[in-house]
Structure formats: C-alpha cells, structure tokens
Structure 1
Amino acid sequence: MRYTLRQLEVFLATAHFENVTKAAQSLAMSQSAASGALKDLEQQFDMQLFDRVGKRLQANEQGLSLRPKAQALIEQARALEQELVNHKDIGHIKVGATLTIGNYLAVGLMAEFMRENPSAEIQLEVANTEAIAKQVLNFDLDLGLIEGEFHHADLEVSHWRDDELVVFCAPNHPLAAKQVLTDQDLLAADWILRETGSGTRQGFDRAMHGLLAEQTIKLELQHTEAIKRAVEAGLGISCLSRITLEDAFQRGNLVPLLVPHRDFHRAFYVILHKNKYRSTGIQRWLALCTQ
C-alpha cells in the first residue's frame, strides 16, 4: 500500500482539530512528524486535502470526501487490534443521548449492556438532539439516541420506540380544573419550554402548529427537572415526555392537561454515521435497543 494507517490517523486528527499541532498532541507525536506524515500522504497521491483559513486547516472537497472512508478504515483496524489483544472483548463504545433519553432510559440500557458484557466500557454524552447529531457526524460518538427528527445525507436514522409529550401544570393552576383545554386556553397560558434545538421542543412546535406565533413563552430552559420545578412553583405550564412526568403525576406535584385535538405523539431514533464501522460493541448495543 502507498499509504499508512498512521498517515490516515494524522489526516483524521487534523480534520477534527483543524490544526496540525493539536492533531500531533492528540496522537502523542511531534508537530514536525505529524506535518511530515500529512505532507507525504498528499504528495504520494498528488492531492491537497486542506485549505488554510486563517490559522485553521479546513478540509476541502477532497478531504471531506476522504474523511468518512478513512475513519471507517481506522476503526476497522482498531477493532481488529482489539480482538487480537482482548480476544473479542467488547472494548469501549461512545453513546450519545438526548436529555430525556439520557436521564430516564439510557442508564437502564447501559446497565443491561454491561451485565451482558462485563468487560465493556461505555461513555455516555448527554446533550440536545442537534448537538448529539453533530457529534455523530463528526465521529466523536459511535451512535446517538435522539428524541427529535434529524435529517442528514450522512446519517442512518432508525426508529427505536414511540413516545408521547404531555401538557401539564401545578395542581393549583387555574387550568388544572379544566377537563379539556382549547386553543384559546393554550394561547392564554404562560409557557415554560425546552430550548430550540431539542427534540422535545421540536415535537411541541409540531403539535402546536398554527399557534406558535401567538404563544407566550415565559422561559426556555435546557433541563427537564428545572422546567418541572418552575411549573410546580406556578410560573406557567409546560410540555414534556410522559416518561419524565410519571413520578410527579403519581405524587400529585404536577397534573396532566388533556389536549385531545392536538397530536403530541412522537418517536425516539437511533442514529449512526453511514460510514461508521459497526463494531461488535455497536452491533450488540443496537440489538439491545430492539429487544
């Protein structure tokens, strides 16, 4: 072969950090060795992989085209090395989850996964849908569990499970006494909502089509528990996944509000980069999700 895996590692690290010095540090190399490896790769194939933008090295069209293929090849090589060393142990996988999934579902999945694979190491990153999708696209995460729809040509998006959003308020809120809410009730209320970019907000906005321009949004918060506390304090009403509210409903701290003429059903999805190498760990995680 006219290229080495080390050259590809340098290329991928430079594409990630957009800086040769940082790429070299991440690979425990000298800056000159990393620069040489990158220069040799480009010269061997008579191609330029990066454009210089200020102090950054930004992957150009050729670099962007090569990156996912090189990433997949490096990951296959690492998986092979891991199997040779560890005799097919699962190793380390990086999972991203949106806040609702990360706080209420992912830990249970992780526990089950580790019971089946005691040697496995799992890193969990919790953020909103947009952030998780970007990290999967950048190969910073092996896969993502998201609660909002996200479309990208390089992503493989698979339905995981169904979910339902619920409008709710404090027990002493004036709307708590109403059996069914009308659109007029929804417009008159003060809302405490998740931030734009979250799957929960995406589902809420879709359900409330036609009313969004006239709604009163009092607060936008990034954390589910903060929203629940604000609603309990009487600051307004909100809308979150039913799985995040079941305990509060049972205790009576919060009460659900019926809005039957609006569709609050949605789905959770598993996302992977289309060029992501499906290691043994990823395959077993996906199998667990479908059980």
Structure 2
Amino acid sequence: MKYSLRQLEIFLATAHHENLTLAAKELAMSQSAASEALKTLEQQFDIQLFDRAGKSLKLNELGRQLRSKAEALIDQARTLEHDFRLHSDIGDLKVGASLSIGNYLAVSIVAQFMRENPLAKVSLEVENMTAIAQKVRNYSLDIGLIEGETNDPELQTIFWRKDELVTFCNADHPLAKKAKLSEQDLIEASWILREKGSGTRQTFDWAMRGILPELTIAIELQHTEAIKRAVEANLGIGCLSKITLNDAFKRGNLVPLAIPSRNFERNLYFILHKEKYRSAGIEKWLALCQSAEYVNQ
C-alpha cells in the first residue's frame, strides 16, 4: 500500500481547514511534517489535490472526488480502532440536531442511547438546520436530525417522524378569543418567527405561500424559548413546532390558534453524508430513534 492512514488524516484535515497550519495543529504535529506528508502523498500518485496560491490551499475537483472516499476509509479505521481498544462496536458518535429537535427530543434520546450502550461516547451539537447540514456535509458530524428538507446532493435524507407547527398567542391577546383565524387576521397580525435558514421558518414560509409578502414579521429570533417569551409579553403571535409548546399550553399562559386554511404539517428527517460509513453506532442510533417511543411521542 503506497499511502498511510496518517497521510489521509492530514489530507482530510487540510481539506477541512484549507490551511496547513490549522491542520497540523489539529493533528498535534509540526507544519513542516504535515506539509511533507501531503507532498509525498501527491508525489506517490503523481496527482495534485489542492490548488495553491501562496499559503492558501483550495481543494480542487480531484481532491473533492477523493475526499469522501478517504473520509469513509478513515471512519472505518477509527471504528476498528475502537473495537480493538474498547472491546465495543459503538465508539464515539457525533450527533447534530436542529434547535427544536435538539432542545426537546434529542437529549432524552442521547440519555437512553448511553444507558443501552454504556461504553459509547456521544456528543450533541444543537444549531439551526443549515448549520447542521453543513457540518454533516463536512464530516464534522456523523448524523443530523433536522426539521426541514435539504436538497444537498452530497447528503442522504431519511424520513424519521411527523410533526406540525402551531400558531399561538398570549392568553390575553385579542385573537385568543377567535375560534379560527381568517386570512385577514394573519395579514394584520404582528409575527414573531424563527430566523431564515431554520427548518421551522422553512415550513412556515411554505405554509403561508400566497400571502407571505403581506405578513408583518416584527421580530426574528434564533431560539424557541425567546420566541415564547416575546409572545408571552404580547409583542405578537408566534408559530413553532407543537413539541416545543405542549408544556406552555398546559400551563395556560399561551394558547393555540386554529388556522384551517393553512397546512402546517411537516416531516422530521435524519441526514447523513452519502459516502459516510454506517458504523454500528450510527445504525443503533437510527434504530433507537425509529422505535415507537420516539416516533409516537
């Protein structure tokens, strides 16, 4: 074999950072050693993986084609290393979740996963859908759980479960007394919404097609709890996933609003890189999420 796993690690770290200094720092080695290893890899096969302009490195087309295969090979090697070292087929699992899922569903799944697999080490990152998709694409995350749809050709999308958005207001808001909202009510209301790029906003914008340009969007916020607090303060009405609102509805400080003319149903999905090696940890995570406990809650 004319290449080493270390050379592939250096290639992948450089592709991620597009900077040899940062790649070497990540791998705890000198920049000169990293540069020499990358140079040797390219010379061994008479190829060029990066376009070079001074100190800047940009992954070229050949590098992009080989990157996913190298990532898959390194993933398998790391899984084998964990099997040898820990006598476990799980190892580390890096999960990403968009905000509603991450704050209201994923933590309990992580807890259950670790109870069932005590030798596993699970990390959870919670960001909006766009950020999670980017990190899965760059192999920074093993798997993502998202609230919207992505058409990224590098990612595989797998249906997980149904969900729906609910429009809501303060219990003292004038609209709280209406049995259902009309199109004019929607246009005249002040809306407090998630930011663009989130799965929740994607679903809302689709549901409101036809009148979206006429809506008054007073505030855009990244965090679900901030939106609920703003609605409680009577700054406007909101629209969030039902899973984020159940407790508030039970307390009675927020109330749902019926909009029969609009469809707020949506799907939740898993996303993985198409070239990602399906480790035992990933397979067990998928199986746990798809169990009745987490599909029907």
Alignment correspondent of 1:259: 259
Gaps of 5+ in 1: none
Measured at CA, do residues 2 and 110 of structure 1 come closer, stay the same or move farther in structure 2, by a change above 3 Å?
A: same
Alignment correspondent of 1:44: 44
- Code of the residue aligned with 1:191 in structure 2: it is W
Q: Give the Cα separation in 2 of the matches to 1:140 and 1:53.
A: 26
Alignment correspondent of 2:279: 279
Tell me if 1:14 matches 2:14. Answer: yes
Q: Deviations over 1:156-201 (max 9, x none)?
A: 1000000010000001111111101011000000000000000000
- Code of the residue aligned with 1:277 in structure 2: it is Y
Q: Give the Cα separation in 1 of the matches to 2:79 and 2:256.
A: 48
Q: Give the Cα separation in 1 of the matches to 2:160 and 2:46.
A: 44
Alignment correspondent of 2:83: 83
Runs of 4+ with deviation above 3 angstroms? none
Q: Give the Cα separation in 2 of the matches to 1:214 and 1:132.
A: 31
Q: Please list, as runs of the form range in 1=range in 2, the aligned pairs for 1:171-182 lying within 5 A after superposition.
A: 171-182=171-182
Q: Deviations over 1:200-258 (max 9, x none)?
A: 00000010001111110000000000000000100000100011111111111100000
Tell me if 1:220 matches 2:225. Answer: no
- Secondary structure of 2:164's counterpart equals strand
Q: Give the Cα separation in 2 of the matches to 1:197 and 1:54.
A: 34
- Code of the residue aligned with 2:191 in structure 1: it is W
Alignment correspondent of 2:136: 136
- Code of the residue aligned with 2:177 in structure 1: it is A
Q: Please list, as runs of the form range in 1=range in 2, the aligned pairs for 1:1-291 lying within 5 A after superposition.
A: 1-53=1-53, 55-291=55-291
RMSD value over aligned CA atoms?
0.9
- Which stretch of structure 1 is more off in the superposition, 138-147 or 49-58? 49-58
- Code of the residue aligned with 1:236 in structure 2: it is G
Asked whether the 8 Å contact 1:169–1:254 carries over to 2, the reply is yes
Measured at CA, do residues 233 and 68 of structure 1 come closer, stay the same or move farther in structure 2, by a change above 3 Å?
A: same
Q: Deviations over 1:128-174 (max 9, x none)?
A: 00000000000000000000101111111000000010000001111
Displacement of 1:89 in angstroms is 4.4
Asked whether the 8 Å contact 2:135–2:141 carries over to 1, the reply is yes
Gaps of 5+ in 2: 292-297
TM-score normalised according to structure 1 size: 0.98
Measured at CA, do residues 211 and 55 of structure 1 come closer, stay the same or move farther in structure 2, by a change above 3 Å?
A: farther
Q: Deviations over 1:7-48 (max 9, x none)?
A: 111100100111111111111111111111100111111111
Aligned pair count?
A: 291
Displacement of 1:54 in angstroms is 5.8
Q: Give the Cα separation in 2 of the matches to 1:111 and 1:271.
A: 21
- Secondary structure of 2:152's counterpart equals coil
Measured at CA, do residues 283 and 183 of structure 1 come closer, stay the same or move farther in structure 2, by a change above 3 Å?
A: same
Q: Give the Cα separation in 2 of the matches to 1:198 and 1:225.
A: 15
Asked whether the 8 Å contact 1:193–1:227 carries over to 2, the reply is yes
